[in-house]
Amino acid sequence: MMLIWAGLLISGGLFLNKSSFSMGVLLALPVSVAFYRWSERAVEGANHLSPAKAYNTFLARALVRMGVSLVILVLASLKGPAFLLGVLGGLILPMLAYFTEAVILLVPSFKKSRL
């Protein structure tokens, strides 16, 4: 789902003749995928940890992820607003994927509740 959103953002940037936006999304995509996999491993590895230790592990990774994202965004701001927005779009790809999956899961339940 993340790759579909990335394709849509990159295509939209190219369609609107904003190649720097598309380049920002493209450059942020590997970072987003790496962050997603890193968080996924933290959740999978939490089975054998106590709840407090699992929480601390996940929170530490989230804080590192936010700090790295901030540094990337500050560096991207040096290249201009379109590139900055592209990088931001690339960094929020996991959230867009989560949102899309949530909508996909909720829509059938709305249809069943109306019957």
3-state secondary structure 25-66: HHHHHHHHHHHHHHHHHHHHHHHHCCHHHHHHHHHHHHHHHH
pTM of the model: 0.85
Q: What pLDDT shows up at residue 13?
A: 96
Interacting residues of 85 by C-beta distance below 8 A, sequence separation 6+: 21, 24
Q: For the chain, give every domain's residue range.
A: 2-114
Distances (CA, A) of 27 to 13, 44, 59, 82, 110: 14, 27, 25, 13, 38
What is the pLDDT at residue 112? 61
Question: Would you report the helix, strand and coil content of the chain in percent, each value rounded to 5?
Answer: 90, 0, 10
Number of neighbouring beta carbons within 10 Å of residue 96: 18
Tokens of 35: 């962050």
Question: Would you write out the chain's pLDDT as a tens digit for each of its 115 residues?
Answer: 899 999 999 999 999 999 999 999 999 999 999 999 988 888 887 788 888 988 898 899 999 999 999 999 999 999 999 999 999 999 999 999 999 988 888 887 755 655 5
